[in-house]
Structure 1
């Protein structure tokens, strides 16, 4: 069966800082799709973040590019296998240059935290109890 992928394209003010941030979180940069204007961050087999300089991002849109430090253009949410994995990834993001984004959400069966990357994009990390999903 075909595995559909998602390619999230994000404008960055400093490509090298963004690359360093995401590699320090443990993600790989795919050199085949990385240039001096963009970086291909492999988050999973089906999720890729394309980090684009603002100049390169503008090549794909006629709209004004949002200033993600003051405007919310998207909320990205990554799943986690456990509450501990949520904490591990968010704590690591905060330690390597990210900033807090919102309060911890703890509903017992669902747990999530969020952070902003160096460009202000909001990334949520969430765990949900599989038993709660089943019914």
Structure 2
């Protein structure tokens, strides 16, 4: 088993929009060499020590996945989850994402499994922010 981080790749429509959203909205740090547009190429963000997020323009994403179709905006095959320490932290992350242009799908609230809210990034990818019910 490799010790390299897991990389989750998502198709995006616009590098600059996605770069600003993930940098400003989620506070993630981009890694890599800057391209001519001032954005790292490939566009990757460190989520934590074991996970990176790679954002690939739709055309390039299609090249990588071959005959498998890229899901249309608003259709998602997965829900990405950011775990946080408390409900206050969840509110803060969702608020920051909202200010950066996220569409709020469900406002943060108590759920049977904990405290959680869901938002969609500029490309329609769904993110849940959740806190353990004991926090």
Cα offset for 1:81?
A: 0.6
Q: Deviations over 1:75-134 (max 9, x none)?
A: 111111111111100010001111111354413761000111000100001111458xxx
Q: How many correspondences in the alignment?
A: 127
How far, CA to CA, are the matches of 1:21 and 1:6 in structure 2?
21
Cα deviation code 1:45-68 (max 9, x no counterpart): 112110000111112212110113
Which of 46, 65, 68 aligns to 2:70? It is: 65
The secondary structure found in structure 2 opposite 1:19 is helix
Name the SS of the counterpart of 1:7 in structure 2.
strand
Higher mean alpha-carbon deviation, 117-126 vs 102-111, is at 102-111
Alpha-carbon spacing, 1:120–1:47, altered in 2? closer, same or farther (3 Å): same
CA RMSD of aligned residues (A): 2.2
Query: More strand per residue: 1 or 2?
Result: 2
In structure 2, runs of 5+ residues without a counterpart are: 35-39
> Counterpart in 2 of 1:81?
85
Other structure's SS at 2:65 match: coil
Q: After superposition, where does 1:90-109 map in structure 2 within 5 Å? A: 90-107=94-111
Listed as ranges, the gaps of 5+ residues in structure 1 are: none
Is the CA contact 2:73–2:124 (under 8 Å) kept in the aligned structure 1?
Answer: yes
User: Which residue does the alignment assign to 1:26?
Assistant: 27
Deviation (angstroms), 1:73: 2.1
Runs of 4+ with deviation above 6 angstroms:
none
1:56 matched residue in structure 2: 60
Question: What TM-score, normalized by structure 1, do the two folds share?
Answer: 0.83
